[in-house]
Chain A
Amino acid sequence: MFFNFTIRHFLTNPQQLAFELEKSTMRGYWQRVVAVFLAALLLFSLRSFWGVNTENMTSLLTMSTADYTLTRYASLFGSMIWSVIYVAFHLFGVAYAISFLIGIPFRKLLPMQLLMTVILLIEKLLVFLVFYMTGTATNVSFLSFGPLAATFLELPFFIFFLNQLTVTTAIIIGYQFHFIHVYGGISRKYRLLFTLIGIHLFMAIFTASISLLPIEDIFHTIFGGGTGHE
């Protein structure tokens, strides 16, 4: 028996995906993987082309149009590479982490993680659409606790950390919980739930910490160049 792996259908039916995976052989998965990579590439390129995250380059324009233009091209290219890394991480990296912590075969988690990646891309698309419509961007996402944190908290780390906790994170945890619960036949529900929450919290802390790193200084330390760095 075969079943077609359709994103639209299984995005709302984690249990059914688990059942189908157990009973029959999946078809059309890798085509979807390619499609998701391409969609991410397109989305990240569009964001960079429109200018999201390029605000720190703006000052370059006062010096030279050529330098600014080349920086924007490089940044666009960087976003394309980043889209590949991003999808690869959420697809393979997170699947590996879950398989390592919960003890479910890595390959069995890949279909679920592809759906999770799609949810993350939809989130990014939604945020981008709001940016595009308002003509403004913000450092915090309207789907996260970021706005609340930015309004009431001072410490950058907490703002970055809470900004990573989004409605999408909750949806993903819910989906993963249902899927793994049915598919893996894990009886200790709460342990599973807390493990999943733990993974996501760890990822949020990790991302928040990265945001705090003085990347520009590190870059200059490693590669040299720039003002005050020889």
Chain B
Amino acid sequence: MNKYLNIAIATVVSAFLMTNLYLLYSKESVIPKLLYVQDYQRMTEQDYEKDLFKESLVAPFETHTVYVEDEDTVEFWFAEEGDEVYIGQELAALNTSRMDREREVWESEHSGLMDQQAKLESLRDDLENLRDDSNSSTSSDVGRDQHVTEVEEKTTIEFGFNIGFTLDVTQEGSYTQAIAAVDQQLADVERQLTVLDAQLAQDDSNPALLSPVSGVVSNMTRHGAKLSLDIYDEERVIVTYVDEKEWQQLEEGQHVKLQSDALDRVVEGDVLSISPVPVKKNELFEVYQKLENMNTKEPIAYYEVRISPDESFDDIPYASNVKSIITVDEAYGATALPKEWSRVDEKDSLRVTKLTDDGRPVFVHATTPFTLNEQAIITDGLEEGEIALHEPALYHFNYAPQIYLSFPTYQPTKEEWKEFGWRSYLKAMLVK
């Protein structure tokens, strides 16, 4: 009898406990839960920068190549690799018997340049007229070949000629700026014309190949069907190579810090250009591959990135190593929280949990332009002073439960202990 009673009691108690656990923890439970939250963090504002560290090299701003038709044309070379040459300097003595063909090439080049010069001069006149008109009246007559678009006090002037440059100028003095740019182009054309004129005016008995630019002779092809001579521009830029992943992060105009053994300080600079075409084998790239200890057979495509330094690098030899720190992302006055505290919403947007003033959790959308060291940088959605929460279980709730937090790690100061007041202490002890 006693045995059966015990079995009956055990069964009833077990059934009772099972029912309770079902009522409390099953999916159909209607009993509100209080959720424990282990991780929480008060947001603080800070400036964040995401940097890309690259090995880079000093390179010429431009490489000019002078061609000569064939081996017989050149009597002998005056210049050799490493020589500094100035504009109009004799590079090679030419063979008199071959002069006619060279002269033809120079003449066609000459007429092309003359044509370009004429067009530039006419454009310059047009611009000057427009500037005068705009000074007398506000309405301006748009010239025949250029398109002027006004966007928020900024005027972009696109030139219709095949000169190929675009100017971003402010409304005030925009024409003056455009004229200055045209003048610069004109000067360049005139310089080339001067060299060609000198070339053409030479005495046929003692002709020479003249340098079109000032710079340093870098490479010469002395034999073969077509001879050439490369002249490095004196102006230097910094060149580095990036893979596809890095390419995606780069943009023109990004800020760069440059460090080199030859410099005793950090030089600032900007990204000048990012090539969309993979780099072909060249000497600089080979040096770069050695610097990065890259396997030359690596099949990945690399792209050339040019950085313009704010200070001159003219005293530093070409191909010398410079460390570049490219700031690919930056956010000022942003907040950050560990990446795993959030869920990806859509591109550049996260779903994060924060604490409301009534002590309950709420999901909010936060804008995150980038992540840094496993931290999601947040520019919008979580403000300074707000509390971010991390509790994956929260995603299973279809209501905002009351939450209680792990014991705070903050250590109050002596003053804070004193200032809290006996009433607050008593209340915290008595009132749950």
Contacts and interface: CB of A to CB of B under 8 A. Distances in A.
Interface of A: 49-62, 65-78, 81, 131, 134-140, 142-144, 146-148, 150-151, 167, 215-216, 219, 223-225
Contact of B431 (A143, A150, A215): A215
9 contacts: A58-B355, A66-B412, A81-B429, A135-B36, A137-B404, A146-B20, A147-B23, A148-B19, A224-B423
Given A50-B406, A57-B428, A215-B430, A70 B23 contact: no
A78 B24 CA distance: 28
B430 A147 contact: no
B430 A78 contact: yes
A167 B12 CA distance: 11
Contact of A74 (B405, B408, B429): B429
Nearest to B28: A151
A70 B31 contact: no
Q: Which of B355, B386, B404, B416 has the most CB of A within 10 A?
A: B404
A51 B36 contact: yes
Interface of B: 13, 16-17, 19-21, 23-25, 30-36, 40, 42, 355-359, 386-387, 393, 401-408, 410-413, 416-417, 420, 423-432
A10 B377 CA distance: 61
A167 B355 contact: no
A151 B423 contact: no
A85 B17 CA distance: 29
Contacts of B401: 136
Given A62-B387, A138-B24, A49 B407 contact: yes
B17 A69 contact: no
Nearest to A220: B427
A59 B362 CA distance: 13
B31 A138 contact: yes
B36 to A, nearest CB: 5
For chain B, what secondary structure do more than half of its interface residues adopt (helix, strand, loop), or is it mixed? mixed
Given A74-B428, A76-B407, A135-B35, 18 more contacts: A51-B405, A54-B432, A56-B432, A58-B405, A66-B412, A70-B416, A70-B417, A78-B429, A135-B36, A135-B393, A136-B35, A136-B393, A137-B36, A139-B31, A147-B19, A147-B23, A148-B23, A223-B426
B180 to A, nearest CB: 58
Contacts of B16: 167
B234 to A, nearest CB: 60
B34 A137 contact: yes
A219 B36 contact: no
B429 A134 contact: no
A176 to B, nearest CB: 17
Contact of A69 (B21, B25, B412, B427): B412
A70 B412 contact: yes
For chain A, what secondary structure do more than half of its interface residues adopt (helix, strand, loop), or is it mixed? helix
Contact of B20 (A143, A219, A225): A143
Contacts of A61: 40, 355, 359, 387, 405, 408
Contact of B357 (A55, A59, A131, A216): A59
Contacts of A55: 34, 359, 402-404
A225 B404 contact: no
B405 A70 contact: no
A140 B426 contact: no
Contacts of B424: 67, 70-71, 74
A143 B17 contact: yes
A134 B31 contact: no
Given A56-B359, A65-B410, A151 B40 contact: no
Q: Which of A61, A70, A137 has the most CB of B within 10 A?
A: A70
B249 to A, nearest CB: 36
B404 to A, nearest CB: 4
A147 B31 contact: yes
Nearest to A60: B359
A135 B25 CA distance: 11
Q: Which of B30, B35, B36, B356 has the most CB of A within 10 A?
A: B36
Nearest to A51: B404
Contacts of A65: 42, 408, 410
Contact of A52 (B13, B17, B25, B404): B404
A53 B404 CA distance: 8
A139 B401 CA distance: 12
Given A65-B410, A68-B408, A78-B430, A138 B33 contact: yes
B38 to A, nearest CB: 8
Contacts of A57: 359, 404, 428
Contacts of B20: 142-144, 146-148
B348 to A, nearest CB: 27
Contacts of B407: 49-51, 72, 76
Nearest to A217: B431
Nearest to B411: A69
A217 to B, nearest CB: 10
Given A59-B358, A66-B416, A135-B36, A167 B17 contact: yes
